[in-house]
Structure formats: C-alpha cells, structure tokens
C-alpha cells in the first residue's frame, strides 16, 4: 500500500491509498473553495448521562445530487469534484460538513456552563472513505484485494485518529441505501473520531465488567463460544472469523462478525486474520444483497449499516485492546420485500426493540442465500 497525503483547496486533508507503490498523486484541487465554517458543540444530557452533538451547519450539506454531479467521483472531463485525481483506488478526506472537527473553538476537555447545562467544543474529526472510483459499484462488488486496501485504510486511520489529543474512540462505518438516510449514492463510508466514549460502547464495557466480576471471564469470548457451540445462528464459520445472528438480535436481519481470537482493534489483527476478513465480509454482504432479490435482477440492493466496534483509545495504546472485542455489526432495516422496520414508539421512545424475524429464521435464510 502507498499512502499519499495532500490538501484540498479549502485546506482539508485528502489521503490516497494506492495498491501500486509507483502511483504518483500530484493533481491539484483547482476549485475556488473558501475555508469551511463549522458550529459544532457537544451538550450533556444529564438524564441519560451521555453527550449529544449539535451541528447545525450540516443543514446545508449536499443532498442527492445527480450521478453526473457526484462529489465523490474522480475529477475528469472538465468536472471538478472532491477528489482531484482522474481515478483512484481508495480515498479518505475530511468531511466538508463535519459533525466534529479539530478546528472547534476551545480545548477538547473544556466544559462550560453549570448543570444541567454542560457543554463542550465539538472537537474530533469526521472523514469520508471512498471505497472505489466506480460510482455504480458497491462494497459487495469489490475484489478481496480491494477490500484489503480498504481495511488497510481503516487501520491506518484508526492509528492516526487515536493519536489526536482528546480523541477517545474511533468508529469506522458504512451506511448504504436511501432508506438508511444516505444522501450520496457513490460507494463510501465514514470514520468518526469522538472526544468521548460512545453510549453504546459504555454499555458494552459495563456489561463486560459485570460479567468479569461474576465469572472471571471475558463476555465477548463467552458469547462467541456459545454461538459456535450451538450453531443454529452461525452463518459463516471460518478459520479466523465467525459470522452469526445474535441470540437477541434487534434487527430483522443482523449479523455480528467476530475474529475467533479476541483483539481490541484493527491494529491487532495478524496477516491471516486480515486476509480472511476480506473474503468473509464480502460473502456476508453478497448474502445480504440476495435476501430480497426476488426477480434475480440484482437491482434490489439491501440497505444496511455496517458498524465496526473497536476498543476506546483509553483502553491503552492502539492494538493493545482491553475487555471489548473488535467486531463488525451488519444489519438492515428491511424486514421483508417492500417493508421496512421502523423505529416506532417502543424502540424510539423506550429503547425496547421488537424484532419481527426470529434470529434462528434470519440465520437460516442467510445460510440459504449463499452467493
């Protein structure tokens, strides 16, 4: 992998990740861009003991542009985009409309106001990851080698973002499909560097700590061992990775992908684990795309969220880990053909999920639709 860091016309960083070591990236950004202005702030919710990001400047972000005006396609044929080069393998750049930014006014740990109204600057970083220059492709269409390059980019960004003062957690994710809320059709994901440990991670860590006190064992190890032993909800059992539908799945089709050897983050994966991730993850995504492809056309792509959970920075230096196990959570809000799972009263109002598909049925269906 060759990494080339450059700057866009408005000062944002853009990084090329190339599979060839001899690739030269010197195309300048010729757009007349002004520096971006953000108004990000973090406010404390004392009832739920969690932080909420207020980012009102994001109201003006790009919304469903036509394909020939996509800002994530390469710059070619006289049309300038976010990527100056006429082609690319993988590109990462600072979001033009970030929820969090290193330019936020004030130190990351500065708290203003008095309870119940505590606030902090919206320090952190939000990046866009373009998986391929092909606008009409998707992650599932990549080759294992291309996925390996994306994995290298995720790993590199995890290391660099973890080193930013004040960053507590790095989160790589992909949202795909208009039903999910995606506003740009080009295959891409994002990376958030948070100045706090997210509420979901805090809950998992608290559960793991309680399990450790009760049993002396790691909760994630025990969950994975139980699923592998029972087998009913296992979708893919590889040498280094296991994909399964969790016993208490929240979503109609939800799969968790774990390395069989517990590690805390991407930096701790060995070469064999990294290689198998590429094939197993592609297998999962292609199964998801077959779930609702009733006419065999391949056009009815499944909307999904892919969330990569890593140990918080405070667990130790990147790669050292802790109680939390690195894992990917992949799920769709589609429950059947033409029907979505909406987060209605019970889910949105009380955080109590009601799943319309049994986890065992979902796992069986995912095993049946092998690509």
Catalytic residue among 64, 118, 188, 250: 188
Active site residue 188: yes
Which residues are 256's β-sheet partners? 244, 329
Locate 361 and state its tokens: 């049925």
Q: CA 219 → CA 41, 193, 210, 223, 359, distances in Å?
A: 34, 25, 9, 6, 20
Q: How far is CA 210 from the centre of its chain?
A: 27
Locate 18 and state its tokens: 């190339």
Give the 3-state DSSP-derived string for the chain, with helices as H, strands as E and coil as C: CEEEEEECCCCCEEEEEECCCCCCCCCCCCCCCCCCCCCCEEEEECCCCEEEEECHHHHHCCCCCCHHHCCCCECECCECCCECCCCCCEEEEECCCCCCCCCCCCCCCCCECCCCCCEEECCCEEEEEECCCCCCCCHHHCCHHHHHHHHHHHHHHHHHHHCCCCCCEEEEEEEECCCCCCCCCCCEEEEEEECCCCHHHHHHHHHHHHHHHHHCCCHHHHHHHHHHHHCCCEEEECCCEEEECCCCCCCCEEEEEEECCCCCCHHHCCHHHHHHHHHHHHHHHHHHHHCCCCCCCCCCCCCEEEEEECCCHHHCCCCCCCCCCCEEEEEECEEECCEECCCCHHHHHHCCCCCCCCHHHHHHHHHHCCC
Catalytic residues, by residue number, are: 188
């Amino acid at each position: 992998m060759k990494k080339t860091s450059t700057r866009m016309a408005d000062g944002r960083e853009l990084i090329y990740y190339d599979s060839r070591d001899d690739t030269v990236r010197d195309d300048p950004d010729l757009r007349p861009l002004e520096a971006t202005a953000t108004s990000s702030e973090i406010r404390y919710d004392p009832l739920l003991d969690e932080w909420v990001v207020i980012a009102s400047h994001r109201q003006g972000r790009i919304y469903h542009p036509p394909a020939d005006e996509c800002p994530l396609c390469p710059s070619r044929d006289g049309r300038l985009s976010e990527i100056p080069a006429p082609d690319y393998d993988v590109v990462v750049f600072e979001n033009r409309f970030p929820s969090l930014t290193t330019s936020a006014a004030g130190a990351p740990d500065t708290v203003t106001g008095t309870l119940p109204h505590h606030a902090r600057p919206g320090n952190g970083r939000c990046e866009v990851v373009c998986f391929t220059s092909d606008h009409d492709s998707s992650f599932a269409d990549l080759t294992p080698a291309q996925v390996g390059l994306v994995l290298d980019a995720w790993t590199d960004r995890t290391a660099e973002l973890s080193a930013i003062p004040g960053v507590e957690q790095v989160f790589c994710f992909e949202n795909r499909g208009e039903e999910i809320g995606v506003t740009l059709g080009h295959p891409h994901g994002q990376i958030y560097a948070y100045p706090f440990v997210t509420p979901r991670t805090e809950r998992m860590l608290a559960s793991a700590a309680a399990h450790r006190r009760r049993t002396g064992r790691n909760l994630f190890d025990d969950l994975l061992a139980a699923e592998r032993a029972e087998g009913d909800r296992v979708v893919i059992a590889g040498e280094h990775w296991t994909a399964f539908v969790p016993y208490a799945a929240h979503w109609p089709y939800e799969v968790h992908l774990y390395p069989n050897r517990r590690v805390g983050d991407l930096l701790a994966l060995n070469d064999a684990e990294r290689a198998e991730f590429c094939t197993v993850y592609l297998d999962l995504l292609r199964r998801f795309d077959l779930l609702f492809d009733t006419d065999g056309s391949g056009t009815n792509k499944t909307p999904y969220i892919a969330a990569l959970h890593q140990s918080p920075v405070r667990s130790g230096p990147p790669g050292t880990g802790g109680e939390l196990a690195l894992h990917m959570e992949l799920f769709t809000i589609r429950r059947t053909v033409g029907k979505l799972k909406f987060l209605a009263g019970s889910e949105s109002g009380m955080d109590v999920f009601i799943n319309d598909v049994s986890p065992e049925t979902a796992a069986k269906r995912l095993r049946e639709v092998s690509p």
